[in-house]
Amino acid sequence: MANAAAKRIANQNESTLKTLRLGMLLPTLISILLRLLFRRDSLPPSKGPLAIYVATFLPAFFLSNYLIKIGTTRRDSTTGTLISYGEDLSQPGVTEWCFDILYVTWACQIGSGALGEWFWWLYMVIPAYAVYKLWASVISPLVLGSSGSQAAGTATADTDVTNTSKRQEKLRKRNERGDPRVKVQSGRK
């Protein structure tokens, strides 16, 4: 059973890596083609757009190589049996964020080729999201401390008392009538 899961992950990784390798090549070619078709005056690109392209391509290149390295399956050269299936590339967390950065980079490359250099402003989504995650997980708990979380905890406790389920309400009414089917449990601490 575990071997079947490893084979499934290996197949998913192989198809994902194939898409990733194509994704590193196709957006650049599509961008050049769109510039030739719709924005011939932007060829050859000036220093500014070329610098933006290189500055965003390098992190994308690094991240794609990282994902290829961790996701590559290893097979025995003689028998073809699976030795290691690599890391699961569909797992949440850092791997997912790497793919998000790649997708935004590819969208910016294609969009700048079709619509203009202003499309690179979409790339600001990446640092904005990083600041949001940093604020929500590190800065806010440090600055607000436990007082902010206690206030939120008391607010949810008040709503839990008033929002009881139908079953809980029915059990409470039976208990008030003294129904022997209802067992009262002492409060747990």
pLDDT in tens, 16-71: 999 999 999 999 899 889 888 887 776 776 777 788 888 999 999 999 999 999 98
Residue 92 zone, left/alpha/beta (φ > 0; ψ -120 to 50; rest):
beta
- Span 168-177, pLDDT tens digits: 888 888 888 8
Rounded to whole angstroms, the Cα distance separating 21 from 23 reads 5
Please give the C-alpha separations between residue 18 and each of 4, 9, 21, 98, 161, in angstroms, as whole numbers. 21, 14, 5, 16, 53
Residue found by looking up tokens 């999201």 in the block: 129
Could you tell me the pTM of the whole model? 0.67
Which residues neighbour 186 within 8 Å (Cβ) at sequence distance 6 or greater?
A: none
- Average confidence score pLDDT of the chain: 82
